[in-house]
Structure 1
Amino acid sequence: MRCEQMHLASGGPAVVDTVPPSPSVESVLREARSLLAPALRDAIDGLPGPEARIARYHRGWCEADGSEVPSSGDDVRGGKAVRPALVFLAARAVGGLPESAVPGAVAVELVHDFSLLHDDVIDGDPLRRHRPAAWTVYGVPSAVLAGDALLVQALRVLEAAPEPLADAAVRETMAMLADLTFGQSQDVAFEKVGSVGVRQYVDMAAGKTGALMGCACALGGILAGADRERVVGLREFGRCLGVAFQCVDDLLGIWGDSSRSGKPVGADLAARKKSLPVVAALADEQHPAGRGLAALYAQQAPLSEAEITLAADLVEEAGGREATEQEVTRQTAAAMRALSRARPTAEVYRQMHELAMLLTRRDR
């Protein structure tokens, strides 16, 4: 099963609102950080000196000169540990202990950091988590090499897991990396082509973002000894959730609050990025707002602030916002259907549903 393809449905838009973590989800995330922290630090400290420093800086563990930043208990700085939480919940979903899935959680975080380091270089983004991006501090070659080192370390961590589970975990990760590379390649290619179809975009998002979340869930099942059918259900849950997550990111990139989301609002439009709201808005070539948006995107000169604001208005008028919000709901529903195939306990199903709601109702 693959994540469902988008259709431009009629009716009112889905609501993508602010949902703070419930006590249950906060407890899940706290436990994930606690389980992950020592093993992740060991893995990063095991990198060669220059790459270890860049990786620690990227995660917020140290300043550019290597001086330590004080930690706060179980906090794994550089994120809320959502993907590791998915790994541990997936292990629990099939009756395993979360401790058995620690190698998978560490590997997922290392791969995620690898992808972010490379993403920032590819996109030329100067900031990451409200700090100068690693490539702006250490240079492009060093940032790329640090990302490469993190990827190698992720595979080493999985290889050290008990056999025969280690082999299956490495194969799962290699398949994910192929999908991730495809998605990233498509994302870059979209910037240079005249038009992108909605189906093309969803396929890209399934690789760029869905593959890693799907792998996180699959690794939890694999390392807990689950059978193939349950692993497939977990993988597809994560994959569809990842597509929904990417759709929300696209919404935040146009209509979010920079001070709350940490995302530079308008940057995607300024770069003429073909995010899903834009792709959906351009799909109807007869819509006046869609034609106006196409004309703005065809301009050679950089867009002014007024034109960026106009572009956002045109995307909404042409239905891009509504279509993307509907897709968030659609992919989240597909994720929950897939999760049922893994036959989780009612408690774990509820926790994974709450985590999915947290990821897809982020503030914008």
Structure 2
Amino acid sequence: MPLAFQGLAMKSTSSVRSLAPLTESANYLKLPMSLYSLGSSRYLPAVKMMNGVIAQGLLTEAITRDPVLEHQVFYCDESHWWAFMPPEASLFDDYPRHLSAMVRRYPEALLEDPECRLVPMSALGTLLPDHQDHCFDHWLEHRRLPSTESSVLGLFQEVCDTFLELNLRFFRLGIMPEIHGQNAVLVWRKNRVDGLLLRDHDSLRLFVPWLNQAGLDDPVFRLKKGVANTLYHDTAEDLLFYLLSLGIQVNLRAIIDTLAQRYCIEEKRLWLVLRYSLTRQIDRVAFSAEARDLLHRVCLEQEHWPLKLLVRPMLERAGGPGSMPFGKGWTVNPLKRLGTPPDATVARSVQAVIKPENISDPA
């Protein structure tokens, strides 16, 4: 039955079910949609929003364990929601998952800062169909830098440095947020990448032993017994999978592909910058010797990386309710595939490009 609606004018975002206000408001609206995307129904079940609130509480506490996270990580408030549940229903029933809503509140301190812009990382991996403008064009202009390969590589290094460092610091605590390009938002302040804004907290992944080592407790997500989940992981390597897959293979790789196309840069040059940034951040963050060895081995030395599978799990499930189908496979390690330069020239040239003095504002 169609219902009359009176309220704020809003516009659908790329995720379809999230609505952005057309006024100066910090409140976005997330609604359930009776459609399938990536093999998953776009409903909004109460249990998902409950787990989002639980995860938000853990994020609030976790960032206090690391001064860099406390200063540079922000998150949307997703604790205000409503869902209808009949008296006889349980949290895990298929229906009614379509009678619900969530208000996602963005940090007003960021929205009210005239020198701050919020840039979803997916925007960096996209060229608009009607013209070839890219976010980096405007960034280069603001920084008064020439549109050269060196400048573009330098800006890409800034993106990698902030994104990888913050997520490695989360990994050290036994946590991996939802970091694909749609939900990882760069905080861009005074012409520089200054932090990361997180949203969609119900997909916060954990490795509980490292969580406990950091003085954090298992938040005890609400999960259906006997059903596999992607929130808890048995090993740190399993948790690292999400940095390699969602963070690099999905998010940063899309940015590499787009920058290579837009600025006619050899993709290998961009991958070299990513590898340099990742190596440097692994060595900078205060990992235990065991954790650092794991990161070097899996990220940089192994011949293969784990791969997130989608098509085959979609076909095997053949529709039906539930979250996105999930499977694991293997693919080539793109950082190992770069090989060792025949001499130090290539390494020196990449490092020279990304020296801070080469990307600083002119005097």
Same-fold call, TM > 0.5? no
Instruction: Give the structure-1-normalised TM-score.
Output: 0.31
**Quick check: which one's helix share is greater?**
1
Instruction: Give the structure-2-normalised TM-score.
Output: 0.31
Which structure is higher in RCO with an 8 Å CA cutoff and minimum separation 6? Answer: 1
The structure that has the greater radius of gyration is 2
**Quick check: which one's strand share is greater?**
2
